[in-house]
Structure 1
């Protein structure tokens, strides 16, 4: 069994918790022992959302330096969460910004993509940045950006199961009206990861 500590970070409205649930349910369907937790999530749009999925561990917590995989649904939150990544861990992140309230109100500056990429590459064995919103729109809905990111993570072998298992979960756990768009989003994310 492949053990994994996965740290999810994004902002409210991006589907971070939906992605967390999808990964947890997929791992369960694959017969893997799963513990999941929400570290602190603000349901309103723009608030920071952090959650965890641990496969093969009893605790739902991930402390600094423990995550095997950091899934960043928002670029600045990826930068902020790098401290959770273990040495040699993997980062899969959205390359497109969704500036938080602190940036919108001028209280904070937003980092450049290349600065975030450089810090992620310094901390990780692999750091992949994917234009999730653009690919989600190509799939048919900007709301599928979360599954674009999951498709990219799966394609580089960062999740403890394969693409077929993830596709089965999309069909099984998402509403039928959303499944086709999200299957396209998975494929586009996987394609971006392999290009």
Structure 2
């Protein structure tokens, strides 16, 4: 696989756009043409952030509903909301832990249970891999690395046209030196969790 339309969704403060940039640079370093764009971004923490990355020669950064090959969900409720963007049989890789969006915090919306999100996702996707990104990021050194955990999980799940080692090279090349070790660890923890999750599904 050297083509993929990836839709990323999360909330402000999660590093969704940072992850998008890292994925794009990794693809470019692998010699793959990339188009990416920010669909909707809220500067304040907690606002919805969505972005796209299309790898393999797509001319437009737009992903229409039902077109995404991969949905990367940095926040559980936003993953649920974005499921219509996924093509039938696509792959969902998401954070299984809550980062409550503004609507939930204000009492306008109710947060769905994990089992409900998982079952709904299975109705859209060929594969669903959910990992506890925040907890794993804290193990790596900081909860802020949850975005790196998720993309490590996505690479290990085979959802991206490059592997975890390629992402690690990008972390070493593009992030500040003081952030490299913990982000490489976050990638590894995400990858391990994704492999374990898929083994469990296959059992």
Matching residue of 2:85: 84
- The whole-number CA distance in structure 1 between the counterparts of 2:42 and 2:102 is 13
Alignment of 1:152-167 (within 5 A): 152-167=153-168
Runs (5+) with no aligned partner, structure 2: 197-203
Cα deviation code 1:61-81 (max 9, x no counterpart):
000000000000000000000
Alignment of 1:1-195 (within 5 A): 2-55=2-55, 56-195=57-196
Matching residue of 2:201: none
Runs (5+) with no aligned partner, structure 1: none
Cα deviation code 1:103-131 (max 9, x no counterpart):
11111111111100001111101001100
Q: Secondary structure at the match of 1:96?
A: coil
Aligned residue pairs total 195
CA RMSD of aligned residues (A): 0.7
- The whole-number CA distance in structure 2 between the counterparts of 1:84 and 1:97 is 21
Greater Cα offset, 132-141 or 97-106: 97-106
Q: 4+ runs of 1 displaced by more than 6 Å?
A: none
- The whole-number CA distance in structure 2 between the counterparts of 1:83 and 1:130 is 21
TM-score for both structures, normalised by structure 1: 0.99
- The whole-number CA distance in structure 2 between the counterparts of 1:155 and 1:66 is 22
